[in-house]
Structure 1
Amino acid sequence: MGSLEQSIFFRFLSLLLSLPLIIEYPHAYAHSCEPVRCDTGYGPLIKFPFRIKGLHHPRCGYPGFDLYCKDNYAFIHFPLLGRDVIVERIDYEYQTLTIVAEKNCLWNLLFTSSNFTSSRINPDSWTLHTLLNCSKKGSFVEEYVNPISCLSDAEHEALVVFGEDRVGSLPVSCRPIKTISVPRLYPFNLNLMSATQLTENNISEYIYFGGDGDGLNLVWYVPGCIDCESSGNNCGYRDNNSSETLCLPPPPRPPHKGSKRQHVIIVSSMGTLLLLTSLVITIKFYCYWKSRRQLDLENENEVEKFLENYKYLKPIRYSYADLKRMTGQFKEILGQGGYGCVYKGILSNGTLVAVKILKSFDIDGGEFINEVGTMGKIHHVNVVRLLGFCADRLKRALIYEFMPNESLEKHIFSKSSNDCFLGWEKLQNIAIGIARGIEYIHQGCDQRILHFDIKPHNILLDQNFNPKISDFGLAKLCSKGQSVVSMTKARGTMGYIAPEVFSRNFGNVSYKSDVYSYGMLLLEMVSGRQNTDITEENTSRVFFPEWIYKRLCQGEDMGLELQTDEDAHIAKKLTIVALWCIQWYPVDRPPMRSVVHMLKGSMENLTMPSNPFISSLSGNKDTKNSCITNLSVIPE
């Protein structure tokens, strides 16, 4: 298993093992405005307009009404004292909260704070709070008198009185110590929802001071939330910049006691099922990896065994590191296709090469062995030369001689035909060279080699535009006396595959299948376009072979760019030879030796072949006969 496959496997395994945790906590963050307490079962319930920083969404509370939890206590920042204080109680019905100081007396901090004025001026927006020390403890029932136990002792009692005019009604044993002025905002005047901005620096403008023992009562007022909360929902703000409230649904209730056992059973069953599924998939992955690894080892051994027998032939074996050096870390790409990518390289002796890196899907090494074994036996001027190869475990590559003019496809299918057109005489020489190359692999080797993928892309051109056949990955070897080749599946490229390769109703697969592919290639050289062109505006020219056959039979112009009579002579000869090669039945096609003779011979000795497209014409047999009355026999 490669590093990529291992990474995918372990990530998938981790995902499977984490599924029970994902199932167990599906609502962990679904309800960000859910009321909470800092101490489970104790302490004030914290909900709108307050929120816990880091737990609740900002819309769950008003800015400045942020609380945080520490040591099971809820804290809020109180700007008038410049410190954080403990929130002891929150009464959402009367909209009050009681705060106390941590490890100190809150009232002592208030009366000693520099944030309050001791002025006797009492404007409408301020109220006076007077601290008194009473030497005689008594029972004070006035609602404006608040005993402060944290400042009192056994002999003295500290009181806070709200309002200057009420101090005189107290006993003479109570002596004023200090009077401070604090903001005064009554609940029925306070409207947080009309505020455009509220920060912790001016929170005091929105609270009302009241006494409650050692604590200090603060009052807030938020209209619009009473009806929402009375219906069992949670109140919140639409966003931080808006005072519009939202009514949010409450979190789902936990299952009641009667269904707790059932809930546990369901969760346990799902967890067990997921665990078993994960285990089964893990085992299957392991078995697959083990069998794949065993298959890889067998294939590597098979390739190594082949290369051991092949080492006495001329091509050199290179390592993958050698390929990196000769290609400069695969810097310049020449082309790519279904087989892989081709890179430009240079050998240590200065020879330019083309390095074809095979894709990993050829795991069994079949095409690699096929091409190395086949091309190692071929030595012909019209067949590309294999200079070396690489078989570094599953990294495989083929090193060929470099062809500076690339493939024939580039020159015959180019849109800028004026710049890339080779000329009719050169096209004829290329056609003859290709035919000689195919004739050689059919007759010139110890064994007959059938290419099965003759097409413009696989014809390379050297610096002098001499053609060389390449890519023998689909090739098949057979004895010269063997007239029929067995095949389990079709080979080749659509548009160039002979009919018998698809269906045995047209005959047996043989070397004549390469002849058909060559004929289709020859017609594309003549037309400068693919034989089947659905973009052709003239619908009768969509399939060029049939169209050109009709034109020749009727003696009409071929519709090609021909400058001289010699050009017309060559174009007509190439077309007629191609039509011979693409005959529907293999027995009607000439062998490549005859094709070479026809290309090199005189036009006057050529006759039109029978119509391979008769089934798609009008069905008039006279049309066929008028074209083939002077047919001569093409020798095998």
Structure 2
Amino acid sequence: MESFFKMVPLFFCFLLISNVSELKAAQEECQTERCKHQTIRFPFNLKGQQPDPCGYHGFGINCTEKKQMVLELPQNVKLMVKHIDYKAQRIQLSDPGGCLPLQLPNLDLSASPFQFPTNYRPQKYTIFNCSRESNMGNLPLYDAYDYGYYRGEIPCLSSPEFQVIAISSNSKRDPEFVNCSITLLNISKTEVYGEMLYSQTGDVHLSWSQPNCNECEAVGRKCKLKINNKQGETECFGTTKKQRDRRKILLVVSIILGSCLLGLILFGLYRIHRSHKAAKEAQLKIEKITDQFKDKLGEGAYGTVFKGRLSNDVLVAVKVLNNFNATGEEFINEVGSMCRIHHVNVTRLIGFCADGNKRALVYEYMPNESLEKFIFVAKEEDYRLGWEKLQDIAMGIAKGIEYLHQGCDQQILHFDIKPHNILLDKNFNPKISDFGLAKLCSKEQSAVSMTAARGTMGYIAPEVLSRNFGKVTHKSDVYSFGMLLLEMVGGRKNIDATVESTSQVYFPEWVYNCLDRGEELRIRIENEGHVQIARKLTIVGLWCIQWYPADRPSMKAAIHMLEGEVDSLTVPPNPFGHADAVQMRANIPRKPNNRELPVIFELE
């Protein structure tokens, strides 16, 4: 899916570029030019500005510096173009000097693609130069007898003393005019049109029949000469109007989509910029709070904890996550869980920072650090917690777990209850921490669906590792709590990786055998009252670590047992005599703590 979204921008960019390039190519091929206000296109072409195939032979036009269009006809006749009617295939011309008759002796259209319109009637005329005293102006304009035509004076050839007139050569009798002579302007050999001699505008209209581009233009295409074709054949080029409309629509759609895509890219870059900026600010805040990570409190499986101070001089513990999956599941679990919790025996989440792969959690500061520090000591004389305080701590932990199971809107299963995750405040009140492996579920939900074992080896309930022992429920936390109680009693880890034989290192089984035989626990006991406390914690712990979840008490029942007298408690059945339990214990790894487990799929 990611590769698809990466290809989308490339596709639209290609679509946009291809459409623009095709449109540009179509426009550049025999592109229409203008000279002043007149459009120049096939069959005409502007000399020096358009390629030769873009025009037809004899249709070359020069555009002067004054933006005047000049058409060159055979015999060196140059006429100024006033208008081109491409639909009617007619062109309107005039003499640049304003006297068209001067061009008439050389005007020969036999070698030109142009011809006079069909409504013109050619005649041969004789030009007469008459004195103003001859009163030639009194002659009739039309002589019906000899079919002679008199069109009046030709102004551009006349002068103040003489007037120039034209008499048709078709006249049946030669006119005798007083004070008149034939001028040197000899057009008697050329058939011309009276309209050309006497037009008030001095214009002439010519038309052409070939080339004919009506078929191409009918479908919205253009004409041009076939390349290397000596017969002057033409061909259509360019797209039809329908194709252009479709291409314009596609171009508009491409531009719109491209603009939207560009907007999304810019927005994404802006968000990335803001994210990086926020990450830097968050990192600076964390560094400022922790005094450049100067005071390290501890390190766990998913992060390192540093001592910090907020602006109001409140001490905090900042947990910087440095070992989490790509989705940040541990971070989400911890924040999601902690936001639902308000209990005296659960650490309080003050805030968090999250940006990309930089994530940190800010907790209330626990000056006495973790319970692990006080129960796992090298020498017995270093043990600083009394049995009464141990009993209080055990009760507080049990109440905290019971709150997680029943006190919130949703049931929270911790899955990592162990001494390292029990913090102690200045009065040694316990607070459960580290909810990175927690799982939220409905209180009505009897079992939890899991695809992987979670927790720390030595505290993980058997059903989490193998569904042969039952379904995963809140009783899994009860098992971890039981293992914790036994470690508090023994002042040592239940599994000692320094001893060679596994049978020698499993403290829960050893302490059960002591109780079963009525022997003393042979642990640090100062007086009889302390013996009763140690015995109570041991019995409750052994009930909690029964191999099958159904045999374990709930946390509410465990609290009731801790609050009662030891004489009211009975020693539980031997949890280690079952064959499955023996096999499970035999498979305990030598160095189990904080070890990531492989994925284990549900068996039911």
TM-score scaled by length of structure 2: 0.49
Larger Rg: 2
TM-score scaled by length of structure 1: 0.47
